[in-house]
Amino acid sequence: MTFPVIPFGREFKAKYFSNLDPHVINVNHGAMGATPDCILDEYCKSYKSSQTFFDKYLRYEQRYEYMTQLKEISTKELLNCDFKNLAIVDSATAGVNTVLRSFPFKSGDKIVFSTTTYGACKKLIQFLERRIQIQPIVVDIKYPASEEEVVAAYETKFQEPGIRMCLMDAVTSVPGARIPFEEITKLCRKYKILSLIDAAHGIGLLKISLLDLKPDFFVTNLHKWFYVPKSCSVLYVNPEYHRVIQPLTISHQYSDEDVSLSTNELEQMRFFDAFQFTASRNKASIACITSAKKFRNETCGGEETIAKYCYELAWEAANHVTTKVWKGSSILNTKETATALINVEVPVQDLIPEVDINEIAPWLPQVEHEICIDYNTFVPCFFYEGKVYIRFSCQIYNELDDYIYAANAVSETFKKFFANIDKFKATPLCGSAFLTVEAFDKIS
């Protein structure tokens, strides 16, 4: 049989992602993910089944289901680890919170992170700095940068005294760039620094072996690139820290870290048990891990087939836009840093020559809103190192035409939105990430 069963692109979308609005051009898969119809069907089936006798499901069946699905995700072809070192959390950000808010930091402990660390995680470090006086140590990364330059920048910071932990991405959000997290994790071991990898863009996008990687902490979303329904992510914790890391919601299975359990078997399941039962949450998405794995293997042709299509489409889209749509524009990524996420420069001075590019950044959330409402697509726009970029996410239901459409939507919106220069005399109607309620009232 030739894989995929149906060619990737628009035809594949119509067959397997029919819940996506056919009039919407989704070029931002990496932000929220999307779930194939057959996996959504499994989600609904699982949820309905749990409701038929919820006491039985919650008290007995859920534990078996939870264990079974973690075993599926821990196999050699996926995370390659012992399932007893895994827990389900709502998101990668929730996983990072779980680790950093459980860990017994002391005042003055230093945490390394970078200028490209996900914004929500930066806020968490800001919270810890205020609450327990940890010291943030920032690695300044400027793309385009080689792997060697990124590794060297981290190592320079690691040589400072008192570094307790390093929070690193696997693939950064803005700009979308793969970082050499494998080499940085090795450096963490060399300098006796704990490693926490935020692989929000991880499983389904990258090849990962935790057995080889040997991080202290690792979290990855299943609802982004792996097609599991939201909200479902996996947290890995080195067994050495099973007694330390607790779920954000402390529940019945909590035990103090200095209490020894009665048998070795119970001790080995301490971490699993603490996370498995945290009250009557909807966990139907967990039951879909097997279905997602099956769909990716049997319908799509496996991880390598999916990755090849998405990676190649990313380069094709970026090259086409920078040579045909926006001639002379640049691609921020190199081959080392590109995945199915790729960043393309917006030629602001060609589109709106009368506007100072340095005044644009506060208005970009409103530009995104206009694109979303007027063109039925969402294109992340961001200001970086003196330029405006957009980020494309490429998925098996996309084709090149989707990115041409998105780039043209950006062009038209920039021209229309910035035509009224008087707007710069007002305050932008946006926050740091999303439009405020007041902004929607005024511009929707």
Is the same domain home to 267 and 328?
no
DSSP 3-state of 243:
coil
Positive or negative torsion for Cα 224, 234, 282, 45: positive
**pLDDT value of residue 442:** 47
d(CA 443, CA 429): 9
d(CA 162, CA 52): 54
Is the same domain home to 210 and 307?
no
Is the same domain home to 70 and 156?
yes
Q: Is 220 part of a structural domain of the chain?
A: yes
Is the same domain home to 146 and 215?
yes
Q: Is 193 part of a structural domain of the chain?
A: yes
DSSP 3-state of 45:
helix
Is the same domain home to 46 and 149?
yes
Q: Is 20 part of a structural domain of the chain?
A: no
Domain boundary among 268, 294, 320: 294
Q: Is 405 part of a structural domain of the chain?
A: yes
User: What tokens were used for 150?
Assistant: 């990124």
Domain boundary among 271, 294, 317: 294
**pLDDT value of residue 436:** 52
Q: Is 201 part of a structural domain of the chain?
A: yes
Contact assessment for residue 215 and residue 236, using Cβ atoms and an 8 Å cutoff: yes
Is the same domain home to 289 and 310?
no
Stated pTM of the model: 0.92
The closest alpha carbon to 342, from 332, 351, 350, 328, belongs to 332
Is the same domain home to 418 and 358?
yes
Is the same domain home to 349 and 326?
yes
Contact assessment for residue 296 and residue 227, using Cβ atoms and an 8 Å cutoff: yes
Amino acid 390 reads I
Q: Is 145 part of a structural domain of the chain?
A: yes
Is the same domain home to 202 and 290?
yes
List Cβ neighbours of 292 (8 Å cut-off, separation of 6 or more): 39, 222, 226, 227, 228
Compute mean pLDDT per 10 residues along the chain, 444 residues long, and list them: 82 95 95 95 91 86 89 94 94 97 96 96 96 96 94 97 97 96 98 98 96 98 96 95 87 69 70 76 88 96 96 98 96 95 96 90 91 96 95 97 98 90 57 52 48
Q: Is 27 part of a structural domain of the chain?
A: no
For the chain, how many structural domains are there in total? 2
Cβ neighbours around 101 below 10 Å, total: 16
Domain with 355, as residue range(s), is 303-443
**pLDDT value of residue 443:** 47
List Cβ neighbours of 51 (8 Å cut-off, separation of 6 or more): none
**pLDDT value of residue 227:** 97
Is the same domain home to 313 and 266?
no
CATH code, domain carrying 149: 3.40.640.10
Domain boundary among 266, 294, 322: 294
Phi/psi at 422 (nearest 5 deg)? -60, -20
> How many Å separate Cα 442 from the centre of its chain?
31
**pLDDT value of residue 382:** 95
SS3 content of the chain, % helix, strand, coil (to 5): 45, 15, 40
CATH code, domain carrying 356: 3.90.1150.10
Longest dimension (CA), the chain: 73
**pLDDT value of residue 250:** 75
Is the same domain home to 175 and 318?
no
Q: Is 2 part of a structural domain of the chain?
A: no
Quick one: which H or E segment has residue 342? strand 341-345
Is the same domain home to 100 and 193?
yes
Is the peptide bond prior to 432 cis by the omega test (within 30 degrees of 0)?
no
